[in-house]
Amino acid sequence: MFIIDNYALAVLFCFITMICWGSWANTQKLASQKWPFQLFYWDYTFGILLITLFFAFTLGSVGDGGRSFLHDLEQAEMSSLTSAFVGGIIFNFANLLLVIAIEIAGMAIAFPIGIGIALVLGVFTNYIAQPEGDPLVLIIGVTLVALAIFIDGIAYKRILQKTNENPLKGILFSASAGIAMGFFYKYVAASMASDFVIPEVGKLTPYSALVIFSIGIITSSFLFNTINMYRPFSGEKVSFSDYFAMGNTKLHFIGILGGIIWGIGMSFNIIASDQAGPAIAYGLGQGATLVAAIWGVFIWKEFKDLPSKSFWLIPFMFILFVLGIALIITAKLI
C-alpha cells in the first residue's frame, strides 16, 4: 500500500487536508439554495464512502509495504473494527451539528468556533494517547487558536446586534459540534497499526480503517439525520420521499462532491499520521477553520454586516489562527 516515509510529505498531505476540510462546506452552501441541507447530507455521506473505497482498492492495495485492503479486513480483530466504526458514529453526530450550525450562522462562524474547539480538544486527546511534539509549543499553539475562536464569537455577536437576533443558537450548535468533533479521531487512530509498513496483527491499515469509519457514518445517519429530517432544529421538515422527488442529478452530484472533498482530506490526514503523529496531523488538518473562514468572509460575504468599527476583529482572528497553526506544525521539529 502507499505509505508516506518522511515528515515533509506528511505536512504537505496535512495541508491538503486543511484545504479539503475547509472547502467542502461550499457544496452545502450551493446545494442548500435549491433543497434542504438534510437531503444534501445523504449524498455527502455517500461521497465519503465512495472515495474511501476508491483509495482502499487503489492506494491501499498496491506496493510492498503494509497489507492489501481485503487481506487487512480478513485478519482484523473485532476491537479494531469497532473502534473505527465508533469513530465514524461520533464524527457523524458532530458533523451534523456542524452542518446545522453552518445553516444557522454560516461558514465563517461555524468553522472557527466549532472546528476551532475540535482542534483544541483533538490535539490534547490525541497527544495523551500518542505523545508527539513539544508539549509547551502545542499548548501555546492551541491557546492562540482558542483566542481566535473567542474573537470570532465576538464578531458574530456584533453582527447580530444590528438585527436584534440572539447569537446563542448558532454559537451553541457550533460549540457542541466542536466538543463532539474533538473525540472522534482518537478512535480511528486506536484502530490502526502503529507501524504502517509492518502493521501489527489484528490492527487495521489506514485505508481499511477509513472504510469502516465511513460505514459508521452512513449507518448512524439513519438515526441522526432521520431525526434531523423529521424534527429539524433549522429549516423545514422533510421526508425520504423528498430525496427522490426534489433532487436532480446536479444536486446529487454537488452533495457527493462535498463528501469526496472531505473524504480526500480525511484519507490524506490519516495516511500522514504515521509520520506526523496523530496530534499534529489532526491539529494541522483542523487548520481548515482558517480556510473556511476565508471562504465565508471573502466569497460568501458573511461578515458584511459587521460594524466598521469592529472590522479589526477579522484580521486579528486570522493572525491568531495562522500563528497557532504554525506553532502546531513546528512542535515536532523542536
Report how far Cα 199 is from the mean position of its chain's Cα atoms. Answer: 26
Burial class (CB in 10 A: 0-12, 13-18, 19+), 3: middle
Range 254-280 average pLDDT: 91
Please state, in angstroms and rounded to a whole number, the distance separating the CA atoms of residues 75 and 201.
7
Average pLDDT, the chain: 90
Say what percent of the chain tops pLDDT 70: 98
Say if CB 29 and CB 110 are below 8 A apart: no
> Which residue bears the cell 477553520?
289
Ranking 205-214, 241-250, 273-282, 289-298 by mean pLDDT, the lowest is 273-282
Convert the pLDDT of each residue in 64-97 to its tens digit.
888 999 999 999 999 999 999 999 999 999 999 9
DSSP class of residue 295 equals I
Which is nearest to 246 in space by CA: 46, 50, 28, 37?
37
Name the 3-class secondary structure at 78. Answer: helix
pLDDT band at 161 (very low <50, low <70, confident <90, very high): confident
pLDDT of residue 334: 67
Which whole number is the average pLDDT over 98-104? 92
Number of Cβ within 10 Å of residue 257's Cβ equals: 18
pLDDT higher for 258 or 280? Answer: 258
Cell triple for residue 130?
Answer: 500518542
**43-57, 199-213, 243-257, 307-321: least confidently modelled range:** 307-321
Q: How confident is the model at residue 312 (pLDDT cuts 50, 70, 90)?
A: very high
What is the C-alpha to C-alpha distance for residues 100 and 105, in angstroms, rounded to an integer?
9
